[in-house]
């Protein structure tokens, strides 16, 4: 699963990574067999419409 989270752009890379890692661990705790990719985006930045991680899967 692809999960996009919006984070403040002023936080450090280390803090953004820690937030994403904690979320990934929580998802894997609930769904142990999930394939999880956390995308960290700055708040308010609209993604490009061709971003492949924003495409809906038929799975």
Q: Which two tokens stand for residue 48?
A: 């490009």
d(CA 9, CA 3): 18
What is the predicted pLDDT for the residue at 46? 77
pTM, two decimal places: 0.75
Buried b (16+ CB within 10 A) or exposed e, 27-55: eeeeeeeeeeebebbeeeeeeeeeeeeee
pLDDT in tens, the chain (59 residues): 999 999 998 999 999 999 999 999 999 999 999 999 999 989 988 777 777 666 655 55
Q: In the chain, what is the straight-line distance between the N-terminal and C-terminal CA atoms, in Å? A: 10
- In sequence order, the 6+-apart residues with CB closer than 8 A to the CB of 7 are 16, 19, 40, 41, 42, 43
């Amino acid at each position: 699963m692809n999960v996009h989270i919006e984070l403040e752009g002023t936080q450090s890379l280390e803090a953004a990574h820690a937030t994403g890692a904690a979320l990934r661990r929580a998802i894997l705790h609930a769904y142990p067999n999930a394939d999880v990719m956390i995308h960290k985006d700055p708040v308010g930045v609209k993604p490009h419409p061709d971003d492949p991680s924003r495409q809906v899967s038929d799975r």
